[in-house]
Structure 1
Amino acid sequence: MKTLLNIIWFVFSGFWLFLGYMFAALIMCVLIVTIPWGIAAARIGVYALWPFGKIVVPTPNAGVGSFLGNVVWVVLAGWWIALEHLISGIALCITIIGIPFGIANFKLIQVALMPLGKQIVDLP
């Protein structure tokens, strides 16, 4: 079932979200100082490409550094990626079939705003 959901997600939302994250990762890696944010953007982008069957959990040893890094992330790229998730989620919720995918987009907003201090793990 998760494979079918991931394929539908990829067609209607995942690919475009993935491109947004990869664009942010590219910009962050080009700026050298922001490479850690670029790596986080690429990691979350792959998750946004195939989200079903995975879950985001907090990293147990994340501290103040992750919080400060997330503040920088929100200013540099997080707000427009979160906006991309919001717009995509609203568009998907227009149809009854798209509602679960819209809700998945709304859940990704939290990760888009605060990617540091989070891990992506497979569901058991």
Structure 2
Amino acid sequence: MAVFRIIFNIAWFIMGGFLMGIAWWLVGILCFISIIGIPFGRACFVIGELSFWPFGQEQMNRRVARGREDFGTGTFGTIGNIIWFLLFGIWMAIGHLLHAVACFITIIGIPFGIAHLKLALLSLAPIGQTIVAKPD
């Protein structure tokens, strides 16, 4: 199973994952420049890494993963997600949707299109989410 993950991740990286990962990191740099955007920037770098190598990892709500509520999973997280959506989230989601459509055109690209759709959903509201390794 690990061999398939490696093969899929390499193919993903070549077929659009690199571009979207770089886009996530560029948005993260913009967020870090404005001091109040640092929490958004941190999320961008984590999701950017997921965007580079998505197979074998999944996103999960931090409240579920840790078994307790924290700063990003409560009211402040919701407010942060609204701000994120208005500033960057919609544009990152559109980028992933465009890549998904391009992948769906070919039959071999369907798994990559599905991964782009998952990342598009995550890009709409990333605050309060975490990335965990999928169990084998």
2:15 to 5, 12, 17: 12
Tell me which residue corresponds to 1:73.
84
Task: Look up the match of 1:116.
Answer: 127
TM-score (ref. length: structure 2): 0.89
CA–CA separation in structure 2 for the residues paired with 1:50 and 1:44: 10
Among 31, 52, 55, the alignment partner of 1:52 is: 55
Map of 1:99 onto structure 2: 110
TM-score (norm 1): 0.97
Give the residue type in structure 2 aligned to 1:36.
P
Q: 2:100 aligns with which of 85, 89, 92?
A: 89
The unaligned stretches of length 5 or more in structure 2 are 64-68
The residue identity in structure 2 corresponding to 1:120 is: I
Query: Which entry has the higher C-alpha Rg, 1 or 2?
Result: 2
Give the root-mean-square deviation of aligned CA atoms.
Answer: 0.7
**SS at structure 1 position matched to 2:36:** coil
Structure 2 counterpart of 1:49, one-letter code? F
- Secondary structure of the structure 2 residue equivalent to 1:93: helix
Larger % of helix: which? Answer: 2
Structure 1 stretches (4+) deviating beyond 2 angstroms? none
> 3-state DSSP class of the match of 1:12?
helix
